[in-house]
């Protein structure tokens, strides 16, 4: 699978009885003119790729468990690396960042960088690091020995950085638990635009571009309601604490053109639910969609009730969502998610998402994880749902693709259920429901008999 080598790999020590192997990784890919080099790896997925690559070349058992196609799928690696690699610890770094003297040596070595005889020219001058890697089974180390070295074209990727403690709290994107097609008989079945959970997560409402509304019971995915309101609606807002779903024609409606009480099973007239987005209890409500501003229509009592994200771009705010405890607000603006304290309007953090702009963002109820969907004209695979860990801004998971050469699913909108149990994703004319919590056991194809 390796085509262009980015790194040199050497086995320093081996302890199969302790399930441990020590590696030294040399960077061999440089651009001296730009003072650039391949980054030092640190993710478990990269080391699984190394273990498989060397086993495939040398007949180790790991080489027959899966193929390079699985390893080339970021989503597959994010979910399945943990069955093989328990932990990775970087224990030493050398020549990083390179000094001017080291860059001079690297420039002189450029033409010979990929020549090797169990080593690399002047390898002591290369950017490098040592790692302690723990695996789950001694068989994954059978093909290795101290001093073994090879070159690799695998490259580290942030989507491999899922931690064991993340597993119960992030959605299993390997396959949806259910796929709903609410407007299959409609002439506008490909125009699903908005979805929203009720505050207790029991119901999921979705609308089409023409104002058709469908409401599902999340317990059994049965459709509880399917109507075409008299006035075409755009935004869904549930009445706080009630099973009353409302639609607004636009952000400036003074009254709701349409509202329905699912408990009473009847259309009702109610006062206006202000704002385009609200926190769980409705304490904070904001209007957005015009430029880089958000206007609080309820919430802070300070004189200035407008928050501006003045970063010099012409991007507009496209989505606002809150944590369940109402202490944080997540704002999609261009290709960034700003973490804001709604009580003060203070920007606490900013997560930059690779891509041209954010299609959607949804926060887990505790605010610890974000699901995002971005558009990237240069990489269609980036339109898949991605999961970020808010604490360190790390991208930890991506939707796996059946064929790594094909684009991922294109997500137009996202919603994380308030009970934390599901992530809902609009994919063209369907809704994909993903259950939160990764499997406790590997899939059947990755289960091996005991050694």
Residue scoring higher pLDDT (377 or 151): 151
Strand runs labelled E in 104-172: 128-135, 149-152
Cis peptide before 164 (omega within 30 of 0): no
Structural domains of the chain, with CATH: 7-159 (no CATH), 169-435 (2.130.10.10)
Residue scoring higher pLDDT (162 or 233): 162
User: Average pLDDT for residues 17-37, to the nearest whole number?
Assistant: 94
Minimal CA–CA distance to 147: which of 312, 310, 317, 24? 24
Q: pLDDT tens digit string along 48-71?
A: 999 999 999 999 999 999 999 899
In this predicted structure, the answer to whether residue 187 has a pLDDT above a threshold of 70 is no
Per-residue pLDDT band at 252 (split at 50, 70, 90)? low
Residue 145, classified by CB atoms within 10 Å of its CB into exposed (0-12), middle (13-18) or buried (19+), is exposed
pTM score, whole prediction: 0.83
CA-to-CA separations, 87 to 48, 67, 133, in angstroms, rounded? 11, 22, 6
DSSP calls for 356-376: SEEEEEEE-TTSSEEEEEEE-
Q: Which residues of 105-123 are buried (b: 16+ CB within 10 A; e: fewer)?
A: bbeebeeebeebeeebbeb
Q: pLDDT tens digit string along 117-139?
A: 677 888 898 999 999 999 999 99
User: Average pLDDT for residues 105-113, to the nearest whole number?
Assistant: 76
Is-contact 299 287, C-beta < 8 A?
Answer: no
pLDDT in the model for residue 1 = 43
The CA distance from 204 to 75, in Å, is 26
Among 60-69, 145-154, 300-309, 313-322, the least confident range: 300-309
Q: What residues pair up with 244 in beta bridges, in sequence order? A: 261
**What is the length of the chain?**
451
User: Average pLDDT for residues 152-167, to the nearest whole number?
Assistant: 83
What rounded mean pLDDT belongs to the chain?
A: 86
Non-local CB neighbours of 4 within 8 Å, separated by 6+ positions: 29, 153
The edge-to-edge listing of strands for the beta sheet with 244-248 is: 235-238, 244-248, 258-261, 266-267
Q: pLDDT tens digit string along 161-174?
A: 788 889 999 998 88
- Here the tokens at position 171 are 């959605």
pLDDT in the model for residue 429 = 80
- Here the tokens at position 343 are 């009580």
Per-residue pLDDT band at 406 (split at 50, 70, 90)? very low
Which H or E element spans position 322?
strand 317-322
pLDDT in the model for residue 122 = 84
The CA distance from 220 to 392, in Å, is 36
- Here the tokens at position 146 are 């101290």
Q: Which residues of 402-426 are buried (b: 16+ CB within 10 A; e: fewer)?
A: eebeeebbbbbbbbbbbebbbbbbb
Residue scoring higher pLDDT (417 or 373): 417
CB neighbourhood size of 283 (10 A): 14
pLDDT in the model for residue 93 = 97
pLDDT in the model for residue 115 = 64
Rounded (10°) CA dihedral 402, 406, 408, 410 = -130
Residue scoring higher pLDDT (292 or 368): 368
Q: pLDDT tens digit string along 196-221?
A: 999 999 999 998 877 788 999 999 99
In this predicted structure, the answer to whether residue 193 has a pLDDT above a threshold of 60 is yes
First vs last C-alpha separation in the chain? 28
DSSP calls for 9-46: EEEEEEEGGGTEEEEEEEE--EEGGGTEEPPPP--HHH
The CA distance from 227 to 408, in Å, is 32
The CA distance from 250 to 252, in Å, is 6
- Here the tokens at position 201 are 């997560």
């Amino acid at each position: 699978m390796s085509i262009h080598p980015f790194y040199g790999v050497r086995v320093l020590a081996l302890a199969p009885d302790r399930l441990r192997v020590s590696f030294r990784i040399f960077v061999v890919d440089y651009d001296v003119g730009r003072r650039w080099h391949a980054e030092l790896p640190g993710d478990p997925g990269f080391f699984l790729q190394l273990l498989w690559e060397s086993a495939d070349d040398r007949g180790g058992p790991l080489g027959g468990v899966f193929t390079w196609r699985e390893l080339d799928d970021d989503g597959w690696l994010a979910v399945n690396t943990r069955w093989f690699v328990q932990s990775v610890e970087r224990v030493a770094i050398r020549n990083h960042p390179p000094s001017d003297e080291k860059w001079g040596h690297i420039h002189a070595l450029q033409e010979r960088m990929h020549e090797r005889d169990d080593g690399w020219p002047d390898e002591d001058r290369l950017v490098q690091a040592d790692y302690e890697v723990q695996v789950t089974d001694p068989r994954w180390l059978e093909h290795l020995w101290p001093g073994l070295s090879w070159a690799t074209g695998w490259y580290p990727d942030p989507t491999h950085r899922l931690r064991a403690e993340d597993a119960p709290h992030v959605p299993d994107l390997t396959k949806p638990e259910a796929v709903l097609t609410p407007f299959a008989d409609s002439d506008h079945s490909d125009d699903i635009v908005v979805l929203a959970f009720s505050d207790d997560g029991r119901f999921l409402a979705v609308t089409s571009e023409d104002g058709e509304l469908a409401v599902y019971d999340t317990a059994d995915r049965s459709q509880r309601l399917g109507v075409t309101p008299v006035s075409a609606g755009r935004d869904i807002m549930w009445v706080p604490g009630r099973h009353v779903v409302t639609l607004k024609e636009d952000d400036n409606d003074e009254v709701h053109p349409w509202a329905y009480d699912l408990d009473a099973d009847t259309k009702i007239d109610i006062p206006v639910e202000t704002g385009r987005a609200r926190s769980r209890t409705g304490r904070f409500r904001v209007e957005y969609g015009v430029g880089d501003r958000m206007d609080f229509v309820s919430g802070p009592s300070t004189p200035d009730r407008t928050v501006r994200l003045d970063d010099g771009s012409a991007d507009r705010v496209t989505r606002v969502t809150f944590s369940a405890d109402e202490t944080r607000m997540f704002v999609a603006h261009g290709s960034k998610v700003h973490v804001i304290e709604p009580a003060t309007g203070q920007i606490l953090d900013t997560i930059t998402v690779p891509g041209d702009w954010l299609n959607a963002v949804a926060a887990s109820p505790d605010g610890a994880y974000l699901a995002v969907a971005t558009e990237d004209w240069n990489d269609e695979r980036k339109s898949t749902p991605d999961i970020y860990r808010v604490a360190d801004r790390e991208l930890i998971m991506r939707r796996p693709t059946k064929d790594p050469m094909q684009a991922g699913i294109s997500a137009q909108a996202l919603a994380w259920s308030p009970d934390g149990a599901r992530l809902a994703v609009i994919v063209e004319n369907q809704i994909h429901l993903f259950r939160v919590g990764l499997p406790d056991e590997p899939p059947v194809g990755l289960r091996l008999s005991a050694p």
